[in-house]
Structure formats: C-alpha cells, structure tokens
C-alpha cells in the first residue's frame, strides 16, 4: 500500500526521500471519528505512537487569539465556553447525520459568523437558526440563554455594590466582565479608564479568590477571562 511504501521504502512512486526527512502521520481514534480506521499491526509497529489530548477551552481561546484580530471574533462565544466547558466538544452518536454538533471547529466558525452577520442579531429566530447551523440545537439553546443574560445584568448597580456579584451564577459573572470590558473600551482618556480600576478590582477579587471550608480557592476561569478581555492594545497606549 501507499502507507507501507512511504514508511518502509521511504519513497512515493519514483520519488525517494532524503535521509533528513522525517515521516509524521496524524489521525483520529475510531472511537471519535466514523471515518477513522485502525492501522495494520506491522505498520503500527514501525511508528512511535503518541496520544495527543484534545484541546481544552483555554487552549482554543489562545489559538483564536493568536489567529484572529480581536474585532473579528465574537467574545460572547468565549465567555460562554469558559462557563459551559461540557459542551465545547461533542462526539456524534451516529456515524452519519445531518444534525450539527459542537466541536472546536464549529465554535470557531460561529465566533467568526456572529461578527460577519451582525444584522442577524435584530431577528431572534434568525439569530438562533444561525447559531444552531454551526453547533446544533442543544448548544444553540444554551448559548442563546447566555447571550440573553446581557439584558439582565445591571452593571451600574454592581459597580456601586460589588457584593451583589455573590448572587450571580458563573455565566452571569463572566457576562459581567465582558460588559465591563465593553464599557472600558469606550473610555478614551487615562483619567476615565483609571476610574474603572477600583470597581474592576472589587468585582474580580470577589469571584476569583474565595474562602471554602477555611481555605482560599482560586477560580482561574474568572481571572483568565479578565486578563484576556482587558489586554486590548489601545488601552495600554492610554494607560502608558
């Protein structure tokens, strides 16, 4: 077969590989892909086999951050996935289907599409259909519920009384920091931006560092999301 020719003879047709060429193969586990197949034992025995863990949400966010300019991706997708990690990646039950399902690939497509089709947000049904077309109906329902939190968060009240954040769910807390990021991005002077520092610290400290059973527990999701949302280049230029 072609695979044996590559590995054993180190050639493809009449083209032989140089001695400094390393052959690397990558594939999916048949348990996770309907089109994947096991390798013949003699071929497997000629490889060094490494199992690579599937990316976590944090890995995916770093990938998105490195690949795209921040204005090209929808931050709501990031906030949602950090608080709903169980729906980041789903293995379809059927080997053949027309029902969409969430994967890192489809969340990437959705994050881009929501920025490219902003006019769709004015129509609730069209918005839901767009989301479902990428990640499926179950994930779309949960994501839509997260998006709707924006209208329920009373940001000014939280700034005045930070203790109210204790009553919020994880998704609501992440939405708070996303709204704070948007609010801060509208501030064009160093003075106005510095006025946001105290409220940001008060809110962040209340959800990131928590006492549980007498011990301090750090919830890195909030801290990580905070750092991600507040690293805009134009803010650095204002502060500096």
Instruction: Give burial (CB, 10 Å; 0-12/13-18/19+) of 6.
Output: middle
**Residues 170-186: what's their mean pLDDT?**
77
Q: What is the pLDDT of residues 194-224, one digit of tens each?
A: 777 777 778 878 877 666 666 766 666 666 6
Residue 239 has pLDDT above 50, yes or no: no
Confidence at 227, pLDDT banded by 50, 70, 90: low
Mean pLDDT lowest for which of 37-46, 66-75, 136-145, 178-187?
A: 178-187
- Quote the CA–CA distance of 83 and 199 in Å, as a whole number: 22
Residue 7 has pLDDT above 50, yes or no: yes
Helix (H) or strand (E) holding 127: helix 124-135
Q: Are 43 and 54 in contact (CB under 8 A)?
A: no
The pLDDT, as a whole number, for residue 67 is 92
Using DSSP, state whether 212 is helix, strand or coil: strand
Confidence at 231, pLDDT banded by 50, 70, 90: low
Q: What is the pTM of this model?
A: 0.72
Using DSSP, state whether 210 is helix, strand or coil: strand
Q: Are 114 and 106 in contact (CB under 8 A)?
A: no
Q: What is the pLDDT of residues 30-85, one digit of tens each?
A: 777 777 888 888 888 888 889 888 889 989 988 998 899 878 888 889 889 988 89
Residue 4 has pLDDT above 90, yes or no: no
The pLDDT, as a whole number, for residue 119 is 67
The pLDDT, as a whole number, for residue 104 is 95
Q: For the chain, give the mean pLDDT.
A: 81
Task: Compute the chain's Rg from CA coordinates.
Answer: 23
Q: Are 10 and 4 in contact (CB under 8 A)?
A: no
Contacts of 111 (CB under 8 A, 6+ apart): 64, 73, 74, 77, 78
Confidence at 233, pLDDT banded by 50, 70, 90: very low
User: Higher-confidence residue: 136 or 177?
Assistant: 136
Q: Is the dihedral of CA 157, 162, 166, 169 positive or negative?
A: positive
Residue 102 has pLDDT above 90, yes or no: yes
Nearest Cα neighbor of 108 from 96, 98, 120, 116 is 116
The pLDDT, as a whole number, for residue 56 is 92
Beta bridge partners of 160: none
């Amino acid at each position: 077969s072609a695979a044996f020719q590559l590995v054993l003879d180190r050639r493809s047709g009449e083209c032989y590989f140089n001695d400094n060429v390393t052959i690397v193969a990558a594939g999916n586990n048949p348990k996770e892909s309907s089109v994947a197949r096991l390798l013949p034992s003699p071929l497997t025995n000629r490889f060094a086999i490494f199992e690579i863990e599937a990316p976590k949400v944090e890995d995916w966010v770093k990938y998105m951050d490195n690949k795209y300019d921040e204005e090209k991706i929808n931050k709501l997708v990031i906030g949602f996935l950090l608080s709903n990690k169980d729906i980041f990646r789903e293995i379809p039950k059927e080997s053949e289907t027309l029902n969409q399902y969430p994967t890192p690939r489809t969340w990437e497509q959705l994050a881009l599409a929501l920025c490219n089709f902003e006019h769709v947000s004015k129509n609730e049904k069209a918005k839901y259909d767009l989301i479902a077309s990428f990640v499926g109906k179950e994930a779309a329902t949960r994501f839509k519920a997260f998006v709707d939190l924006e209208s329920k968060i009373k940001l000014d009240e939280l700034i005045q009384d930070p203790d109210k954040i204790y009553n919020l769910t994880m998704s609501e807390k992440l939405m708070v920091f996303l709204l704070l990021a948007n609010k801060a991005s509208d501030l064009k002077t160093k003075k106005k931006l510095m006025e946001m520092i105290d409220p940001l610290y008060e809110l962040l400290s209340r959800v990131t560092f928590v006492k549980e059973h007498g011990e301090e527990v750090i919830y890195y999701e909030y801290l990580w999301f905070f750092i991600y949302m507040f690293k805009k280049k134009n803010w650095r230029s204002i502060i500096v």
